């Protein structure tokens, strides 16, 4: 037996940080919140970021989530250098490549759960019928399809979190470019 054809495909790096630094300045005060963070997250990997209060977890997540720019270092997201993107391209990358579940959920109070989940697809210009179908599919996956027309004020904290998870998964493509439909339902 030869090795050729027997080896599994190499895992694809999705997040690659090299020597990331973040400096906050307030007038004369300069504070170095990140001092050279290097991290690689492969496709399909689950990573938990842990550290004492004030150690820079939020700062790092804001950099990874393209909500803030690093002061130095290199960041490649799904193989693309994102440190040089302009604001429009950053907004597009946030919409297409990143899903966020915020601690406080940040659901839109006046919109239904279905409309909340649809939001990333509205920004991406996906036609209404398709985005409704996708959002409903995601609500089904988190067990909330029967509450699609409820508002955030009518559901529990755990249910809000599930809606936020569904919204975070609701992007036009995943970082590597494919939409994975739910398995057929009986």
Provide the binding-site residues for ligand ATP, judged by CB under 6 A. Answer: 24, 26, 31, 33, 51, 53-59
* Minimum distance from residue 60 beta carbon to ligand ATP (Å): 7
Cα–Cα distance for residue pair 14/76, rounded to 1 Å: 8
* Minimum distance from residue 25 beta carbon to ligand ATP (Å): 8
Short-list 15, 13, 169, 11, CA closest to 77 = 15
* Minimum distance from residue 109 beta carbon to ligand ATP (Å): 25
Q: How deeply is 76 buried, as exposed, middle or buried, from its count of CB atoms within 10 A (0-12, 13-18, 19+)?
A: middle
* Minimum distance from residue 44 beta carbon to ligand ATP (Å): 25
* Minimum distance from residue 23 beta carbon to ligand ATP (Å): 9
* Minimum distance from residue 85 beta carbon to ligand ATP (Å): 21
Minimum CB distance to ligand ATP smaller for 58 or for 111:
58
- Partners of 77 in the β-ladder: 15, 80
Which one-letter DSSP state was computed for residue 79?
A: T
Short-list 66, 102, 95, CA closest to 81 = 66
Minimum CB distance to ligand ATP smaller for 53 or for 178:
53
Q: Which residues contact 36 (CB under 8 A, 6 or more apart)?
A: 19, 20, 21, 73
Minimum CB distance to ligand ATP smaller for 31 or for 179:
31
For the chain, where are the E strands, in sequence order? 13-26, 29-42, 72-77, 80-81
Minimum CB distance to ligand ATP smaller for 59 or for 112:
59
Minimum CB distance to ligand ATP smaller for 33 or for 119:
33
Minimum CB distance to ligand ATP smaller for 34 or for 114:
34
**Over the Cα atoms of the chain, what is R_g?**
19
């Amino acid at each position: 037996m030869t090795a050729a054809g027997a080896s599994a495909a190499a895992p694809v790096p999705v997040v690659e940080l090299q020597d990331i630094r973040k400096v906050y300045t307030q007038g004369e005060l300069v504070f170095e919140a990140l001092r050279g963070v290097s991290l690689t997250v492969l496709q399909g990997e689950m990573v938990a970021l842990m550290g004492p209060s004030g150690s820079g977890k939020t700062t790092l997540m804001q950099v990874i989530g393209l909500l803030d720019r690093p002061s130095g270092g290199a960041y490649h997201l799904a193989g693309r250098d994102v440190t040089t993107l302009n604001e429009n391209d950053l907004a597009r990358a946030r919409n297409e490549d990143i899903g966020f579940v915020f601690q406080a959920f940040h659901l839109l109070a006046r919109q239904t759960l279905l409309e909340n989940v649809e939001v990333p697809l509205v920004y991406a210009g996906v036609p209404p019928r398709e985005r409704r179908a996708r959002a409903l599919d995601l609500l089904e996956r988190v067990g909330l399809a029967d509450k699609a027309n409820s508002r955030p004020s009518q559901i529990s904290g755990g249910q809000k979190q599930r809606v936020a998870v569904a919204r975070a998964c609701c992007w036009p493509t995943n970082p590597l470019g494919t939409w994975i439909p739910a398995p057929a339902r009986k």
